[in-house]
Amino acid sequence: MSSSNRADVLKRLYAELKKKYSAVSATERTVLEHFLYATCLEDATYEAANAAFSALVETMSGWNEVRVSSVTELSELMPQLPDPRGTAIKLRKILHAVFEERYCFDIDDIRKKSLKEAYEKLESIPGGTPFSINYTAQIALGRHGIPVGNGEKRLLYVLGIISEKDIEEREVGGLNRAISKSQGMEFASLLHQLAAAFVQNPEARKIVSFLKSFAPDFRVRMPKRREIRVENTMETPEPIVTHEVAPQNMMDLLINDPDFRKERENDRFEDTYDDSEERAKEEYLEEMAMKRRKNRSSKEERARKIDCPFEEDEEIEEKKTDKTMKSQSASSENQKEKTSRKNKKVADKASKSSEKATEKRKEKAPKTENEESVEKGKKAENSTKAEKGKNVKKVPKAKKLPKTEKEGKTPKKSSK
């Protein structure tokens, strides 16, 4: 199809979509949050993407926990999506890349760069797809680029707007020229709503009626029915199942699928990922957060002192009252100890006085015959010892001779 014919067909498609759908306005988020929301929104309805994104935000404590969580845990939180495991792997890759580069989950600084540099930065992040990159660039950066995923490409192919070669390309040629920048967000939301419904069930009555009215020969380009069709919670109540398959044969069929094998290998690699460096980074971030909390608390205390300075005086008075109460209690205890000591001393004096009184009574009491005989014997012994001492004769001491001035010399006579 030529470029002019394609532009006319796209404008007619835009007019038909306006009749059946209403545009969904984007909420205010950071660049990284828009990027993660776009990965959830690819090939899914807005309701399913909102439910999955809110489950991640509410159940997880932060994006770091999402990064560390396993693929199975994340896929269990997002059962509404058409491919929860693939979405979980993409989310983890994006968060790993951002954290390893910046040690945080903030990429809002790319808004200050030019559109070309910002777009190249989004392309360099692993885990991103053409749909998520163009969606983030359109809504967060204001770039004119309509996000087109696999579901949109299949829908445009069935409508006869693009060919099989255009499906393999990154962007749909002529789409941005046919739709102006002011109409880009509205057209992207309308086209995505139809594509998400087409991915859920291409044989739904509303989808078939729209395709038939727009392109009567759409059956030639419709995808072939699969023998096994996996249902999800957001699917319409018109499933296409040709025949049932036993659960044991299901696993055999999935093992033969090359895409399933690749996903299993990626899951093993992700689960066995050595996160020793990541733990060190997490500890560093926790230490920095603790320091920030301490600084905030000190700043709050300073502000509180400035706002209400009389609180310090009240605290000081309370401390003084506590000290006085403690000192009073200590003094009362000391008085008790002193009184107890005085009572002990009085009791000791009373006991000693009673002992002395008993001793005096014993002395004044009349002595027995045995005691008198013992005392007489002691007196006799003492008298005999005294008489013996008197009879002993004392030997007189020898008189000392006068000493000369020098021994062996006679005194000199005077010459007179």
CATH value at residue 39: 1.10.340.30
CB atoms within 10 A of CB 30: 14
In this structure, of 61-70, 102-111, 149-158, 223-232, the range with the lowest mean pLDDT score is 223-232
Confidence of residue 336 (pLDDT cuts 50, 70, 90): confident
* Over residues 318-329, mean pLDDT: 77
* Over residues 233-251, mean pLDDT: 45
* Rounded Cα–Cα distance for residues 17 and 161 (Å): 15
Within a domain: 27: yes
Within a domain: 279: no
Determine if residue 174 is left, alpha or beta; phi over 0 gives left, psi from -120 to 50 gives alpha, anything else beta.
left
Total domains in the chain come to 1
What's CA 241's distance to the chain center, in Å? Answer: 46
Range of the domain at 49: 3-227
* Over residues 354-361, mean pLDDT: 77
Confidence of residue 415 (pLDDT cuts 50, 70, 90): very low
DSSP state, 236? -
Computed over every residue of the chain, the mean pLDDT equals 77
What is the predicted pLDDT for the residue at 272? Answer: 46
Within a domain: 145: yes
Within a domain: 400: no
pLDDT in tens, 105-160: 999 999 999 999 999 999 999 999 999 999 999 999 988 888 998 888 888 888 88
Confidence of residue 257 (pLDDT cuts 50, 70, 90): low
Within a domain: 386: no
What is the predicted pLDDT for the residue at 256? Answer: 63
* Rounded Cα–Cα distance for residues 180 and 184 (Å): 6
Within a domain: 286: no
For residue 230, pLDDT over 50 is answered with no
Within a domain: 158: yes
Within a domain: 381: no
What is the predicted pLDDT for the residue at 172? Answer: 80
Confidence of residue 171 (pLDDT cuts 50, 70, 90): confident
